Chains A and B, each alone.
Chain A
Amino acid sequence: MEGFCNGLHKSPHKGFSVEFKEHRQYVHGDEIRTIDWKLFGKTDRLYIREYEDETNLRCNILLDKSGSMGYCGSRAGGVSKHDYAVRLAACLGHLMLAQQDAVGLIHFDDAVRRIIPPRSKPTHLTAIVNELSGLKAERETELSSVFHQLVPKIPRRGLLVIISDLFGNIEELMKALAHFRHAKHEIVIFQIWDPDELDFPFKQWTQFQSLEQKSHRRLIDPAHLGKAYLKNLATFREALTAGCHRNRIDLVPVVTDRPYAEALASYLATRRRLR
């Protein structure tokens, strides 16, 4: 089975490695460079050399770049949730490729915007980072429909790292995540929070304007509604945690006032202990 660290056991899949596994007869469509020309000289038949594929990780990083990820509170040191998510994705990509795991990147908002398939080549990091650097938080989120769309586009099971604030309908989201799980993907969710979203520190009358839909505004007195917001938040997080636990999904809440490296290291250490 696949692992997070590089190939420690054999893989049942064939692939490109130094260990020869078997020959098989050439069929139309096989790459010509894989033909064993020596054997062709001996047998006058075209055979393909197949090598044993080394165990490695196929990881797809699913990055939410919707408008809500653009929030940047005063305590986040000028780093928006989107910035934080991009850096976290780049960091994960670097770590994976450093272990020769294959890493791919999928970013989306209300639809899938780009899919970079997983590769394990070190140079693949450049492609991922280039893609990440050009992203902007915009548009609305439609997590569940996007996830449902993605399931057939990720044929090989692997690790899905979802980096998002997961703002949306929890039931629909859980169904979508269950769909992934059904396809045998392992899922880790880094849920990005701004400190303001967790403690709602506002005092005076404020007009809250949606980052995803500018016409959506709410003028409220936080002194009177703060309590209800926090209660609502707690309910949301409890439901999310319960849903993830039910689907055996690792939910890692990350707050943007905490260094992402630290958050990542903390999660990896936890995961290593679990193994």
Chain B
Amino acid sequence: MSFLNVALLGGLAAFAIPLIIHLLNRSKFKTLDWGAMHLLDSVVANNSRRVRLEQLLLLLIRCAIPALLAFCLARPVLTGWQSLPGDAPASTVILLDNSYSMDAIGASGTRIAEAVDDTRLIVDSSGKGSDTSVILTGGSPAPMFDTPVFDSKSITDQLPFLDSGRGATSLADSLELGASVVSAMANSRRNLILISDFQRSDVDALTPAAIERFRQQIDSQAVPPSITLIQRSGDAEQNIAIEDVQLSTRALGVGQQLKVRVRVKNYGVSDVPEARLQFIVDDRLVGVTELAVAGDATAQALFVHKFDAAGSHVLKFEVDAGDDLKTDNQYLAVVDVIDSIEVLMIDGDPSRKPMESETDFLAVALTPFSLGQMPLADLVETRIVKTDEVDQQTLEWARVVIMANVAKLDDERTAKLQDFVQRGGGLIVFTGNKVDVDWYNRVLHQQRGLFPLPIQGIGGGLDDGDRGARIVAQHFDHPALQIFNSGNSGSSELAQADIAQWYVLTKPASTSDNRIQAVSNKAKADASGTDPQASTLIRLDSGDPLWVEKPVGKGFVMACATTADADWNNLPLRPVFLPLVQQLVTSIATRGVPASNLTAGETLVALYDAAAADTTQVLSLPGNKQRSLRPVADQQRSVIRFAGTNQPGLYTLTQPDAPPRHFAVEIDRGESKLETIDAEQLQTLADALGADVVTDGAAFLALDSSRRHGREIWRLVLFALLGLLFVELFFQQRFSRVRQ
């Protein structure tokens, strides 16, 4: 015998309560001087034995009542009691693998269709009072219904609409969730069934530690479930998949060229001589190529495309090679094409002579095509103003503001600039000989927080004898600088520039994810007067920071310790200056824009104006489903967050008076290799899990009928308890009728 609520067995101690009351009553008697003892003596002599028996009987009944109640609440299960199949109700958890590898087509249909048939058979055969929970294990495991359902029809009705094609199954997470769900279910006869193709990659990911954890989880349950594995592996072998799509990370403008690199992998052993790869943009076929992919090899294709209009564009790649699994033959990506990036440049050292103004090099670097009168389009639109021309109107127009060698700004303009950055704008500060160092340190850094690090002094010098510095060739972590990590414009290119003179900025405390380290950094930063949020992008070999960045409100501030023109350095004269400035400007303009390409399970985030708060937005999901969502106000803007992106595909936010926003959700291609474990390995896994292996649903039913299950007897105990209550009442009335 075992108990479902073992802790409640402690209630058995309640039997002592009537006993204590009885003993207390006996000990709390009063003494009475009595005359008619001769009348009592004979009564006692004749009745004491009977009375003692009656009292003992009543006491036993009263002690048994709370003890039986506790016993009943502990839900005893007679484990040696065999019940007929379908006779006793059962609690069943079915872990149904709906990862995309289950879509593989074999001789007898897809794996998922077979698994669904097994599920339907098992659910239909469950007896009256049985509860069932179906957990879909693809991607992150999730129950089909929030709670186990007693109505089997509601599950079988839902099975035809099952979402398949999900991400890889994590057997460890699925088994853990299944064990957790089954432990809280209603009946003492419990089953945990895992129906999967048991791909080798999934099984390999199930570590012995995870198996041990699962076994402990099962063993700790009052009534451990019977575990059964059903393998639906089919005979599919050939599979070709789009493994990855790489987009250029730079922000893309109208008319600018997008390069897409597509990797196609053949997971089968036989060669595929002609795989047709299509490139579709916004449902329009724009490119086709034929690839020859050898067995267990990868082929790449490069597509180029220009967009005519700004907005969210859907790129779809399809490969067709007649393989057994079609789900991974597609790949979706979304590109957000921006109209232009408005850059306001405040020139602190204007000049009428060519290339002597402080912003001339920047203007060339940001709008090379326009200035060169070339047919290609520039992403950036610039406007150059003097210090006293900065006003509300120009700031509202701009997305990025560049201060180039600006001596100082008055308080009003500084406040407006601060508000601009707080609202999400980008600010890039180039220093130079005009800079009022005291104002930069006191006002711009300390009061307004718009200059990341205080200026300590001047490094290097412009005389011939002075020692300059160079940029340290390193691996850059910042997304804007990642293009310099490899390729033609590598970091060595940057390192060739001579930096003759620069402002020595206080070194920032290095940032760290480690909380203890971060706290320590903050303490250091407080002591040195630096901002703990400031980080160095580019460093000089003298050890001084050259480019630093800091978030301010919703926006970002970047500062360069040297000039934007060639006065203090020759970087603007070098070819690397153009991509560097372009990258930094587009990066600061588009930072904080949520990603449009997500992996399954990642939260979808869309930003709106503050005015859009509480308006209704419609999100179209894969499979023609729709959700109504409301942006939530978040300071100066409103945000939609949607976490239910488990299903791969295209998610589109449509608005009545604005173009739609697309989000592509893709899955990891871990399951594209269709190799499954063989029967022997499956048996080994089953032994490790303490499970039985069957071939299909019918075999499970046969196995289930032969298993010995326990039967809950709390109802019988409850009836006994009620009976005892009546007996106690009857005896109590009968024995103490003299009270009336």
Contact = CB atoms under 8 A, between A and B. Distances in A.
Contacts of A220: 40, 44, 48, 51
Interface in B37-62: 37-44, 46-48, 51, 54-55
A168 interface: yes
Nearest to B58: A224
Interface stretch (A20-28, A203-211, A245-253): A203-211
A105 B591 CA distance: 125
A223 B165 CA distance: 78
Given A223-B739, A226-B738, A210 B29 contact: no
Interface in A190-229: 194, 197, 202-213, 216-221, 223-229
B25 interface: yes
A218 B739 contact: no
B625 interface: no
Interface in B709-740: 735-739
B737 A70 contact: no
Contact of B37 (A69, A81, A210): A210
A144 to B, nearest CB: 13
Contacts of A168: 38
B515 interface: no
A218 B29 contact: no
A223 B34 CA distance: 17
Given A224-B55, A230-B738, A218 B33 contact: no
A203 B739 contact: yes
A207 to B, nearest CB: 4
A232 B39 contact: yes
A71 interface: yes
Nearest to B41: A218
B443 to A, nearest CB: 91
Given A167-B38, A218-B41, A230-B738, A209 B33 contact: yes
A203 B740 CA distance: 11
Contacts of A208: 32, 34, 37, 40
Interface in A106-136: none
A165 interface: yes
Contacts, number: 107
Contacts of A227: 737-738
A71 B35 contact: yes
Interface residues of B, number: 30
Contacts of A194: 35
A93 interface: no
A204 B42 contact: no
Contact of B34 (A203, A204, A211): A211
A232 B35 CA distance: 15
A205 B34 contact: no
B353 interface: no
Interface in A167-198: 167-168, 194, 197
A236 to B, nearest CB: 6
B43 A232 contact: yes
B658 to A, nearest CB: 86
Contact of B35 (A69, A202, A225): A69
B31 A209 contact: yes
A56 interface: no
Contacts of B46: 228
B32 A209 contact: yes
B352 interface: no
A60 interface: no
Contacts of B41: 218
B284 interface: no
B36 interface: yes
Contacts of B735: 224
B43 A207 contact: no
A116 to B, nearest CB: 26
B39 A236 contact: yes
Interface string B356-396: 00000000000000000000000000000000000000000
B43 A206 contact: no
B35 A68 contact: yes
A168 B38 CA distance: 7
Interface string A56-96: 00000000000111110000000001000000000000000
B31 A207 contact: yes
B38 to A, nearest CB: 6
Contact of B33 (A70, A197, A232): A70
A205 B51 CA distance: 13
B39 A229 contact: yes
Contacts of B39: 167, 197, 229, 232-233, 236
Interface residues of A, number: 40
B29 A167 contact: no
A227 B620 CA distance: 85
Contacts of A216: 37
A233 B29 CA distance: 24
A206 to B, nearest CB: 5
Interface centre among B30, B35, B46, B735 (most CB of A within 10 A): B35
B33 A211 contact: yes
Nearest to B51: A224
Contact of A225 (B25, B32, B36, B43): B43
A165 B35 contact: yes
Nearest to A169: B38
Nearest to A82: B35
A223 B738 contact: yes
Contacts of A68: 35-37
A256 to B, nearest CB: 11
Given A205-B26, A224-B55, A210 B739 contact: no
A70 B35 contact: yes
A223 B736 contact: yes
Interface centre among A221, A223, A224 (most CB of B within 10 A): A224
B51 A71 contact: no
Given A168-B38, A194-B35, A211-B35, A228 B47 contact: yes
Interface in B590-627: none
Given A224-B55, A228-B47, A197 B738 contact: no
A223 B30 CA distance: 14
A182 to B, nearest CB: 26
B31 A206 contact: yes
Contacts of A232: 39, 42-43
A213 to B, nearest CB: 8
B25 A207 contact: no
A274 to B, nearest CB: 30
A197 to B, nearest CB: 5
A220 to B, nearest CB: 6
A70 B30 CA distance: 19
Contacts of B47: 224-225, 228
A70 to B, nearest CB: 7
Given A224-B55, A228-B47, A212 B37 contact: yes
A205 B40 contact: no
Contact of B51 (A81, A197, A225): A225
Contacts of A165: 35-36
B30 A204 contact: yes
A229 B37 CA distance: 10
B739 A229 contact: no
A81 B37 CA distance: 15
Interface centre among B38, B46, B55, B739 (most CB of A within 10 A): B38
B36 A205 contact: no
A101 B28 CA distance: 55
Contact of A229 (B28, B30, B43): B43
Contacts of B736: 223-224
A64 to B, nearest CB: 11
A207 B36 contact: no
8 contacts: A167-B39, A205-B30, A209-B32, A217-B31, A224-B735, A225-B40, A226-B738, A236-B39
Interface of B: 25-26, 28-44, 46-48, 51, 54-55, 735-739
Query: Would you list the 6 A-B pairs with minimal beta carbon distance, nearest first?
Result: A227-B738, A68-B35, A205-B29, A71-B35, A208-B34, A226-B738
Given A165-B35, A167-B38, A225-B43, 8 more contacts: A81-B35, A202-B32, A208-B40, A210-B34, A211-B33, A211-B37, A225-B47, A225-B738
